[in-house]
Chain A
Amino acid sequence: MGKTLAEKVWDEHVVRSVPGEPDLLYIDLHLIHEVTSPQAFEGLRLSGRTVRRPDLTLATEDHNVPTLDQDKPIADPVSRTQIETMRRNAEEFGVRLHPLGDIEQGIVHVVGPQLGLTQPGMTIVCGDSHTSTHGAFGAIAFGIGTSEVEHVLATQTLMQAKPKTMAVTINGSLPDGVTAKDLVLTLITHTGTGGGQGYIVEYRGQAIEELSMEGRMTVCNMSIEWGAKAGLIAPDQKTFDYIEGRPEAPKGADWDAALAYWQTLVTDEDATYDEEIVLDASTMTPFVTWGTNPGQGVPLGASVPSPDDFEESQDRIAAEKALQYMALEAGTPMREIKVDTVFVGSCTNGRIEDLRLAADIIKGRRVDKDTRLLVVPGSVRVRLQAEQEGLDVIFKEAGAEWRGAGCSMCLGMNPDTLAPGERSASTSNRNFEGRQGKGGRTHLVSVPVAAATAVRGTLSSPADLEPIGADH
């Protein structure tokens, strides 16, 4: 019987397989950042161990860095210590680090693909749950905890039970103005936050094939938000074109050998999945969240649901708690919800294509006078590219803030946070209570919805905007 894509990649990396034990899986690339690695390096030090393969390891600084005044010392002493610890560990253990101020610095999941390090058929891990992003290239990529970070540092392997496989088939084409983000938010509301638990998911079908690499990364990025171990997409010509010529892409004969291998990375005709979900892209619309987990979403054109709309008692209780936290009344049209801050950025939507899309909508318009728009490129390279294209000028002229690269407002760890009670429309990945700052209220949205919301001050899509040139 044939194999699924995930099974092919998995089987290629099994170092040791014994019945009754998890497989020992070889890791091709270990990405590191400052927040989940210090205790792992300390563990190595305490046990007198070294990093087995520094040449398969890459570190950057992203979660805990400010996006303003990046050339100045970090003001918060606890944050500064964490960054200094990252630098000391990288130096001591011989790990390549792209620190703040380096041209390759940025969000770890933007940096890997950008350097060409993320390639089809690889196993990639990082102490960050959004590592699933790299699955867009046909890699098995997943987040790990700090004990596992230490394990990979010391052994370049992980003990992992082989997950089940699931196909998510998205037929049809996305309508104009509906993005990869809307697609994945629709999917998560369909499955719930636990629907993917225990599975490596393969996204396939016409709508997935039609996505750009950036869009595919957005979809795979949010695999963890419905509980999947990892999400991946079979590589195709778009994938190969994206990689070719990047600094760490294979060259010459290596390129030919790599390409020949990559072209085998498709699910065999006669392979079977343990589970399958089928959705139709052509009926999808801009999609936003109303609650406090990514599975609590509705179309932008709908209203805030009532707890009574849910059949399961757990869902009703969760909805009640979410509405209370979000200070929302059931029945309120989503489009009437007023937003204080709009955040465009993160490993979900902080790549150049996202910034182009936002700029295209913002151009010639003004950010609403009561709304703040924060635009944060995912990496220094993305920032420089955007500035070369003049996108920064478009944002600044509209009244937005243009920042340095980092995770920024996605996670309420660095200085970019919401104040208690402040409401955001955010292109990031989590609307958990307090995620963007204690007491902050988050609506997850796509880039076009974020940009239109910044202009109107209430949750909106570009279709709601007055034509440019109309009287304001």
Chain B
Amino acid sequence: MEAFTSHTGVGVPLRRSNVDTDQIIPAVYLKRVSRTGFEDGLFSAWRNDPTFVLNRPEYAAGSVLVAGPDFGTGSSREHAVWALMDYGFRVVISSRFGDIFRGNSGKAGLLAAKVDEKLVQRLWDYLDDNPGGLVTVDLESRTVRAGAGVDAIEDSFDIDDYTRWRLLEGLDDVGITLSHADDIAAFETRRPSFKPQTIHAG
């Protein structure tokens, strides 16, 4: 996983709540066995609409998505995270995330920044007034910044310490866990014998 410290990019206002993972990428795109190349499926139903925010040229280089509450609810498909990243997004800002989506983001290297709903509204207004405006998300200091002068926006975001550390270091979870292989083996010796198995000897 690529390390994440700070990112500045074009902010994209997605004025919708309850953007479920079926909207982020419909199931029909999930037939592939690859881990990349899902950008064509991102918001595929909405992209048919010429007025959809991603179809506007000023957001073509968008990399910071600013979405309404309950972003990424529904299906566990990590393809939703991959599609956002394949399209070019590095950060999603929202006041509430689906649990599985947020977990998947942390594993794949997409920063899911949880903020106060008022900040989402301010960022939306700023980006509407300044299409193509930049948003900076600094993981080190856990801050979101946009604009300049007296109207400058600066506020903090929430992310759990462990996910933050892993993102900053770009660490692979499996590698970390395998360093505790002795603990796992010890636990396995204590498991009760009545626990089911899917494969039986003989």
A26-B187 CB under 8 A given contacts A35-B30, A432-B20: yes
- Which chain B positions have C-beta within 8 A of A128? 75-76
Of the candidates B76, B99, B107, B195, the one having the most CB atoms from chain A within 10 angstroms of its own CB is B76
- Which chain B positions have C-beta within 8 A of A24? 177, 180, 183-184
Closest Cβ of chain B to A440, distance in Å, is: 11
Point out the residue from B20, B27, B35, B198 that lies within 8 Å of A117, measured CB to CB: B198
A15 within 8 Å of B (CB atoms): yes
Of the candidates A21, A36, A43, A314, the one having the most CB atoms from chain B within 10 angstroms of its own CB is A314
A144-B100 CB under 8 A given contacts A413-B28, A434-B22: yes
Q: A157 touching B103 by the CB < 8 A rule? A: no
Closest Cβ of chain B to A408, distance in Å, is: 12
A154-B178 CB under 8 A given contacts A58-B198, A79-B31, A434-B45: yes
Closest Cβ of chain B to A88, distance in Å, is: 10
Q: A257 touching B183 by the CB < 8 A rule? A: no
In the complex, the chain B residue whose C-beta lies closest to that of A255 is: B194
Point out the residue from B26, B191, B194 that lies within 8 Å of A258, measured CB to CB: B194
Of the candidates B15, B32, B74, B181, the one having the most CB atoms from chain A within 10 angstroms of its own CB is B74
* Distance A43 CA – B174 CA, assembled complex (angstroms): 10
Of the candidates A96, A229, A321, A411, the one having the most CB atoms from chain B within 10 angstroms of its own CB is A411
Closest Cβ of chain B to A150, distance in Å, is: 7
A81 within 8 Å of B (CB atoms): yes
* Distance A138 CA – B107 CA, assembled complex (angstroms): 28
Q: A145 touching B173 by the CB < 8 A rule? A: no
- Which chain A positions have C-beta within 8 A of B79? 146
Of the candidates B27, B69, B77, B98, the one having the most CB atoms from chain A within 10 angstroms of its own CB is B27
Q: B81 touching A145 by the CB < 8 A rule? A: yes
Q: A36 touching B173 by the CB < 8 A rule? A: no
B148 within 8 Å of A (CB atoms): no
A197 within 8 Å of B (CB atoms): yes
- Which chain B positions have C-beta within 8 A of A38? 33
* Distance A21 CA – B162 CA, assembled complex (angstroms): 6
Closest Cβ of chain A to B24, distance in Å, is: 10
Q: B78 touching A36 by the CB < 8 A rule? A: yes
Point out the residue from A15, A129, A197 that lies within 8 Å of B184, measured CB to CB: A15
B96 within 8 Å of A (CB atoms): yes
- Which chain A positions have C-beta within 8 A of B27? 63, 411-413, 435
* Distance A192 CA – B98 CA, assembled complex (angstroms): 12
Q: B107 touching A148 by the CB < 8 A rule? A: yes
In the complex, the chain B residue whose C-beta lies closest to that of A410 is: B27
* Distance A191 CA – B99 CA, assembled complex (angstroms): 16
Please report the number of residue pairs spanning A and B whose Cβ atoms sit closer than 8 angstroms. Answer: 213
A314-B78 CB under 8 A given contacts A15-B187, A39-B34, A433-B45: no
- Which chain B positions have C-beta within 8 A of A15? 180, 183-184, 187
Number of residues of chain B lying within 8 A (CB) of chain A: 60
Closest Cβ of chain B to A105, distance in Å, is: 15
User: Interface digits, B97-130 against A, CB 8 Å rule (1 contact, 0 not)?
Assistant: 1111001100110000000000000000000000
Q: B177 touching A28 by the CB < 8 A rule? A: no
- Which chain A positions have C-beta within 8 A of B56? none
Q: B195 touching A122 by the CB < 8 A rule? A: yes
* Distance A301 CA – B22 CA, assembled complex (angstroms): 29
Q: B20 touching A96 by the CB < 8 A rule? A: no
A194-B96 CB under 8 A given contacts A57-B198, A432-B23: yes
* Distance A82 CA – B40 CA, assembled complex (angstroms): 19
In the complex, the chain A residue whose C-beta lies closest to that of B193 is: A254
- Which chain B positions have C-beta within 8 A of A57? 198
- Which chain A positions have C-beta within 8 A of B69? 194, 314
B152 within 8 Å of A (CB atoms): no
* Distance A7 CA – B70 CA, assembled complex (angstroms): 26
- Which chain A positions have C-beta within 8 A of B81? 145
A147-B108 CB under 8 A given contacts A16-B180, A227-B73: yes
* Distance A57 CA – B183 CA, assembled complex (angstroms): 20
B13 within 8 Å of A (CB atoms): no
Closest Cβ of chain B to A148, distance in Å, is: 7
Q: A254 touching B178 by the CB < 8 A rule? A: no
Closest Cβ of chain A to B25, distance in Å, is: 11
* Distance A192 CA – B96 CA, assembled complex (angstroms): 12
A156 within 8 Å of B (CB atoms): yes
Q: B68 touching A155 by the CB < 8 A rule? A: no
Closest Cβ of chain B to A383, distance in Å, is: 22
- Which chain A positions have C-beta within 8 A of B98? 194, 197, 227
* Distance A317 CA – B23 CA, assembled complex (angstroms): 17
Q: A42 touching B45 by the CB < 8 A rule? A: no
Point out the residue from A54, A55, A432 that lies within 8 Å of B22, measured CB to CB: A432
Q: B199 touching A64 by the CB < 8 A rule? A: no
Q: Would you list the 4 A-B pairs with minimal beta carbon distance, nearest first?
A: A147-B107, A145-B104, A145-B78, A38-B33
Given A24-B177, A430-B20, 5 more pairs with CB closer than 8 A: A116-B196, A192-B70, A194-B70, A317-B17, A318-B17
